[in-house]
Structure 1
Amino acid sequence: MATPFRKSLRAKEQPCVEPAAVPCDFCTGTQLKAVKSCLGCFMSYCQTHLEPHQRVARLKTHQLVEPMDRLEDRMCKKHDRLLELFCKTEQVSVCQFCTETDHKSNPIVPLKEEYEVKMAQLEKIASDVQQMIKDRKQKIKEIKDTVELSKKDAEREIADGVQVLTALKQSIEKCQDDLNQMVKEKLKSTVKQAEGLIKEIEQEIEDLTFGSSEVKQLSHTKDHLHFLQAFRSLKNPPPTRDWTTVEVRPPSYVGTLRRSLDQLEETLNMEMKKLCDAELKRVQQYEVDVTLDPDTAHPKLILSEDGKQVHHGDVVKKLPDNPKRFTMHIFVLTMQSFSSGRFYFEVQVKDKTGWCLGVARESIARKGQITVTPETGYWNIFKNKDELIFRDNTAVRLPLRAELQKVGVFVDYDEGLLSFYDVEARVHVTSAIGCTFSEPLYPFLCPGNNDYKGDNSAPLIISPVNQTD
C-alpha cells in the first residue's frame, strides 16, 4: 500500500526533469528534478531523496545549496570547499580558504559580482558582434546597390552614346546626301547648258548645209545669163552666232565638301554641348563642402571669415611659423582632404585676369621656390591674361573662353581622373587621365598678384553648386 502512495506523492511533488533543470542523482528510471544539491555528498536530490538530509543528524550538518550540475567542478581541489569567490588578479575562481592563503593580498569579489561584470562584457561583445554583422550586411547592400547603380550608369552611358552616335550617323548620311544632291544638280545644270548649245549649233550646221548645197549647185552652171539670174535670187547665209566666245565651263566644287563638313561640325558641337551638359550634371552630384585653411595661406593672402573667399592683400602679414604654410607661392589649401572616391567643387573666377586652381597631394613642398606640375604633386589650370594653361609636366595651352567666370573641378581618385569645366557655358575644358593619386588630395587656390591698376584684385570664391534642370 505504501509503494503506490510514495509514487503518487513523488509525481505530485516534482515534475520530471526539464531540459535546463538539474536531475536527481538518486532517481532510477525517470529522473525527477533536483531541489537541492549537497556540498558534502556532491550529489543532487529531489524532494523525496532529500528527506534523509532533513532527518539524519549527521546529514543535517551537510551544506545544502540550490541545485547545481557538475558539483565536483565547483569545489576547490585544494580545500574541498565551494568555489564561491573570484580572484580578479589571477582571474580564477577561489574558495574562502584560498582568500586566506594563496590569494590573501589579491582583490576578491563574489562570483555573482564577477559574473555580472563578465555578463555585461559578454552582452557588449554580443552587441558588438551583432553590430559587426549588421555593418557587414549593410556593406553587402552597399556593394549590391553600387553594382546596380553601375549597371544603370552603364545602360545610361550606352543609351547616351547610341543617341549621340546615331545623331552623328544621321547627320553624316544627310551631309553625304546633300553633297551628292548639290554635285549632281551642278552637273545637271552644266549638262543641260551644253545640250542646249549643241542643239543650237547643230541647227546652224543644218541651215548652213542647206545653203551650201544651193551654192554648190549654182557653181556648176556654165550659162552666164542663168547664173547671174540665179545668183541674184540666191539667199544670204542665215544669221549665225559668234561661237568664239561661247564656252561651257565645268562646275566648280570648291568649298562644297567643306560646307558639308561645316554643317557636320555644327551638329557635332551641338551634340557635344548636350553631352557635356549631361556630364556636368552627373559630376555635380559629387559636390563637397570645402573651406580654406588659414594655417596654409601665404602671408599676403586674405581669407574671408567663412573660409570661402581669398584675395591678394599686397602686405605681408606677421604670422606664426607653421610647417603647413606656403612661404613663396601665394597658395592656400582647403582644410578638407580626400583619399578615395569622387569629389567636385566650383570656384568663381569672375573679374580676374590671373589665377590658378586645382588639387595637390599632402606631401607637396611649401617652402621656397616650387615647380607646379603633376610630378611635384600639383594638378591645376592657370590663367594669365590671354592664356589658359593646363599645368602638365609639359604645359598645354587651352582655348580661352572670354566668358569663363566659374570653374568646376572634378576628381575621381580611384580612377586617376581630373576634369575641369566651364560651369556657365556648360562645356568641358580639359581632363587629365591616368593620374597616380597615392596620398590625400587637397583642393588649392591661388588668386594671383594684384595688377598695377588693381585689375586682378577680385577674390576667388568657392561657390555652392547651382544645378540646372
Structure 2
Amino acid sequence: MGSSFDKPGAGPAFCPLCRRESSEHITLGCGHIFCKRCLGELWRGLCSGPCYCPECNFELLQIPELRDTDEASTSAESHTRWPFGQHPLANKFTKKNLGKRKRSSDTFEQNSGGYRLGTGSSNNNSSTASDASDETPAKKAKETSSGTSSTRNTHCMPSTADSRPDNLKEDGEPHVIVIDSSDDAWHNTSAVLCHYCSSREKRAAVKTCLVCGASMCPEHLRVHLESPVFQSHPLVDAVDDVSPWRCLEHQEMNRIYCCDCEVCVCTVCTVIGLHKEHACISLKEAEKKLRAELKCKMKKLQTKEGAISDQLKKLTEKKRSVQENLESVRANVVQQYKAMKEALELEEQQALLCVTQEQNKVHGSVDAHLGTLNKALKTIQGTFEPLLKLADAQGASQLQDQAFIMEYKKITEGLNSMPDSVEKLESVEEVNQGRLDCLQDWTDERLSDVIISMPHRDPFRLLYGCSPSLDPDTAHPKLALSSENMLVEYTDVIQDYPDLESRFSIFPQVLGTTALSQGRHYWEVEVTVNEGRWKVGVSDQHIGRKGQKDNCRLGFYPNSWCLVCEKGKVEALHNKETWPVCATGLQKVGLFLDFEEGSLSFYSVGEGGSLSLMYSFQHAFSEPLYPALAASKAQLSICDLFVRPITD
C-alpha cells in the first residue's frame, strides 16, 4: 500500500497512514514511503531500534531521522493536542460503543445513510470478502466522503463488551455498532484526540494501539482494522497514556504475568530483569486463572452474604420477638396500674362517703335547731310591735283606763303562752372525732401499702440496678472468690493465683470487672457487722497494686471512697478522713453512684426494701469507677438484684 518514487523527497507523496499528500515524507529501507508526521507519532517514545515498517513489518535497526517532525507539528497540518479527557467527543465514544478489529472476511455495507461493518453474507448490497480486500483504502475513503451528510457524520465501528486488547470476541464474530460523529458532538471537551487528524479536523480517538502508541479516530482506525500488518497489534479504548500497558524499564509491551509479584511484565523482565526466575505465565493464562479465582471469591462472598442475610433475619426476628414480649409486659403493667387506680378511686369514694355521712348528721341536727329558733324569733318580733305601739301611743290614739288594761292583757297572755325555745333545745349533734381519726389511720395505712415512697430499693434497682462481678486478676492471694465471682472471703490459705501486675499484693482488696461510667448505678453488698474488718466502695483504675503505700489502700487513695467497718464501728472513709455513721442492724449496704449529680450514697437496706441513708459523698467524678471490696477475716457478697425470693 505504500508509495515509492524514483527520487525520494521530490514532490508531495501519498502517505498510506494518514491518506494525505505530504511534502515532508521519508522512504524506508523496504521502499515504502510515509510522511514524517505519521512515523513520528507512530514511533514516539522509542529511544532506539529496532522498529518496523507499518506496511510490511520490515525491521529497521535504527530509527530514521525525524527531526523535521517537530517543525511540521507547528504547521497548519500538525496535530492539535487536547488535555487528556477534555476533547469534545469524550462522552460520545464510550466503552459500550467501541469495537474490536474486524476479521479479514468482514466488509462494509451502506445502511441508512451510514457505513456499517458486517460480514459478506449480511445482505445483497454487501460486498464479498474478496471484493473488500481488493478495494484500496483511498477508494474506500473516497466512497465514505462522497456519501450523504448522514453518511459523513456516522462512523461504523465494531463494538466491544470488554476492554480486552484482542481483535475479536471469543466467538470470533465482530460486534457492530454505529457511532454518531455529528458536528454537535465535537463541542464536548473530554475525549482523547486522534494522532493522525489535522489540527483543523480535531477528531476524537476511539481506539489506541498498544504497539504503536497512537490513538485513532474511526476514519484512521480503518487502516489498523484492514491491513494485515496491524493484525497483531492489540487495541484498547482510547487513552492518552499507554504506559500502564508497557514496561517502564524496557519500554516493551507487557505480555507476561508474574505470579510471584502479581503484575504484568514484559518478556525482557523475565529474562534479564527483576522478574528473572519468577513463576511467569502468559496473560491469557493469567486471565483464565484470575477469572477462576474471581469465581471462587464471588462464591465466598455469596456465602458470606447468605450468612449475613441469615443473621439479619435472626436479629430482625429477635427484635420483633423482644418487642412483642416487652409490649406484653408493658400492657400488663398498664393493666395492673389501671386496676390499682380503679381500686384507689373506689377506696377514695368510700373514704369520702364516710366524711359526707358525718357531715350530713351534724348539719341535720344544726338545721333543725335553726328552724325552731327562727320560728320563735318571728313570733317574738310579731308580738313586740303591738306592745311598742301601745306604749308609745299619745293623744287621741292613747287608750285610757279599762281599754288599755284589756289590750295589754290580751297581748301579755300571748307572750305568756310562748314556750322558751332556747331552754327546751336539745344539744346539737357533734362530729364524731374518733370516727374521723380511724379514717385518717386507715388512709395512712393504705398510703404506706400502695404508694412507692422514696427512698426505697425498688425504684433504684429497677431503674439503675446492676450486679457487678469481681475481677479475679485483681484479687489479693488471701481472698477466695466464688465460681460466679460474686462472693469474696478472706482465708489464711494462699490462693493459686498467677502473679499479675493488676493484682493487689499487700492489702486484701479486689476490684470489679467492669468500670461504671456516666449515668446512675445501684448495687447491693451483704455484710456482717460483728465479724472482722471490711470495706465497701469504689475506686478508679489507677489505685496502686504493689506495696504498702497509701495509694494502694482503699479509702486512703485520693480517688477512692468507701464505707469501712471494724469491730462493729462503721465509718465513711475518703482520702484518709473518716466520718461516723449510724448503722444499727446493718446487714446489707446499698450503693448509689450518680455521675450526673456527682454523688456516692451508702444506704442501709431494710427487710422490706426500705432504704436508710447512712452517708453521701459529693464529688464531680471525672473518671470511670470500679466497685471495690476489702475483707480481712470477713465475707462479703454482691447481691443479684433481680432474683425472686424463695417462698414456702
Normalised to the residue count of structure 2, the TM-score between the two structures is 0.38
Q: Give the structure with the larger helix fraction.
A: 1
Larger radius of gyration: 2
Compute the TM-score of the two structures, normalised by the length of structure 1: 0.49
